[in-house]
Amino acid sequence: MTGRPGRTGRGGGQAGAGDLLALVRTGRATTRGALQQATGLSRATVGQRLDRLFRAGWLREGAGGPVDSPLGGRPSITLEFDDAHAVVLAADLDTRHARAAVLSLTGELLAEHSGTLAVEDGPDTVLGELGRWFAELLEKAGHGADEVCGIGLAVPGPVDSETGRVVQPPIMPGWDGYDIRGRLARAFTERTGAPPVPVLVDNDANLMAYGEQRTAYPDCSAFVLVKVSTGIGAGVVVDGTIYRGVDGGAGDLGHIRVGTEALCRCGSRGCLAAVASGGAVARKLAGAGVPAASGSDVRDLLAAGHPEAAALAREAGRQVGDVLATVVTLLNPGVLMIAGDLAGTPFLTGVRELLYQRALPRSTARLEVVTSRLGERAGLVGAGALVVEHLYAPERVEQRLRALGV
């Protein structure tokens, strides 16, 4: 007997090894019997495809599950994604500061470093330095460079996800169109001696949203994160997938015009970021004689309870909340998360004041307005998750297994 025909996999035809791995990773089917039922494949075919995943080191057997039959018998052996077979490198760039980490395939931070790194120094310098950080972090985490399966990078600008290049970034001089993937892959190789690995690049707000949604709100089908730091950007996750728009420009809230003549760093006048970002609040404080040069300075003043900083942050929140009323009415998200340097009580209060005043009641009836759960690590977690989801997507699993000769 040949068994039942296999149900169609994502790439057409019978479900392949990549489809089986996806079922196990997501917990939808974690025994051989459950995989047969989910795919319609015969026991022998399921066994053959699982054998390839075991030989690659991507699956392992867990404890026995419950006995499904009322007649008893041996418990079914559960299958688990083996997250120990590789690690991921991730980095999150801000305008003057960066964080980097080694993560497990399930998102656990194994080693982390943060420090001063200015994007205005240019991509060659910055990415070369990240290569050095990665080499030191791998040694700190006790992992070899040959265990790295990929690198994820979050940048403070719009990214064409097809090429990994930033497109006309207003706060990243010298980065427009630069081959970030190629340079970071070379920097990794130069510092570790290991072969180049895949590099994925995305906007920082996108990856923060991805990390936060997957970690704390996995059941939220429409999730919006707004990062307010040097600039203002939003990440949108719909049905578990980052929404990027046609060429990576979705979520660029900071350059929505709000009826002011303030000059923005992008060269236009009247942008939201010119009046309500962390940088804008810092300039207002500096003009009033309060030492502040950046969003991080404003964050420190807010943490110290500085009254003028709190008042300006609340007003900035009102201006952002006015714009977010349109965003919420358009997208109807379940969660709106505020993150970045200004993500404290004064700013959040201002956002809520205008948001609930201007948005339709139906759009806010089930809306949660919250602050970040992961804090400064959100971009790292999102960048790591982006790499894992890319490398272990069903169609890519097939390609990688063939390359491994299994």
Is a pLDDT exceeding 50 seen at residue 45? yes
Question: What average pLDDT score do residues 316-338 get?
Answer: 97
Q: Whole-angstrom Cα distance, residue 68 to residue 47?
A: 20
Q: In what order do the strands lie in the sheet with 199-203?
A: 109-116, 97-104, 87-93, 148-155, 199-203
Is a pLDDT exceeding 50 seen at residue 5? no
Q: Whole-angstrom Cα distance, residue 55 to residue 119?
A: 42
SS3 content of the chain, % helix, strand, coil (to 5): 45, 20, 35
pLDDT by residue (tens digit) across 389-405?
A: 999 999 999 999 999 99
Is a pLDDT exceeding 70 seen at residue 358? yes
Burial class, 303, CB count within 10 angstroms (exposed 0-12 / middle 13-18 / buried 19+): exposed
C-alpha distances (whole Å) from 297 to each of 59, 90, 198, 286, 373 are 47, 25, 36, 11, 21
Q: Within its chain, how far is the Cα of 240 from the centroid?
A: 11
Both structure tokens of 298: 């404003």
Is a pLDDT exceeding 90 seen at residue 299? yes
Write the DSSP string, 198-264: -EEEEEHHHHHHHHHHHHH-TT-SEEEEEEESSSEEEEEEETTEE---SSS-TT-GGGSB-S--PBP
Is a pLDDT exceeding 80 seen at residue 218? yes
pLDDT by residue (tens digit) across 235-294?
A: 999 999 999 998 888 999 999 999 888 999 888 999 999 999 999 999 999 999 999 998
pLDDT by residue (tens digit) across 111-148?
A: 999 999 999 999 999 999 999 999 999 999 999 999 99
- Coil/strand/helix, residue 68: coil
Q: Whole-angstrom Cα distance, residue 173 to residue 184?
A: 18
Residues pairing with 358 in the sheet? none
Q: What is the 3-state secondary structure (H, E, C) of 123-187?
A: HHHHHHHHHHHHHHHHHHHCCCHHHEEEEEEEECCCEECCCCEECCCCCCCCCCCCCHHHHHHHH
**Taking a C-beta distance cutoff of 8 angstroms, is the pair 43, 3 a contact?**
yes
Q: What phi, psi does 184 have (nearest 5°)?
A: -70, -35
Residue type, 329: T
Write the DSSP string, 345-374: HHHHHHHHHHHHHHS-HHHHTT-EEEE-SS
Is a pLDDT exceeding 90 seen at residue 43? yes
- Region for 398 from its dihedrals, namely left if φ exceeds 0, alpha if ψ lies in -120 to 50, beta otherwise: alpha
CA atoms within 13 A on the CB side of 58: 25
Residues pairing with 90 in the sheet? 101, 152
Residues comprising the chain, all counted: 406
Question: What average pLDDT score do residues 25-36 get?
Answer: 95
Query: What pLDDT does residue 74 have?
Result: 59
Alpha-helix residue ranges (DSSP H) falling in 267-306: 272-276, 278-287, 295-303
Contacts of 94 (CB under 8 A, 6+ apart): 119, 156, 204, 229, 230
What average pLDDT does the structure give for the chain? 92
Per-residue confidence band for 351, with pLDDT thresholds at 50, 70 and 90: very high
pLDDT by residue (tens digit) across 141-186?
A: 999 999 999 999 999 999 998 999 999 888 899 999 999 999 999 9
Is the entire prediction scored with pTM above 0.85?
A: yes
Both structure tokens of 47: 């066994």
- Region for 371 from its dihedrals, namely left if φ exceeds 0, alpha if ψ lies in -120 to 50, beta otherwise: beta
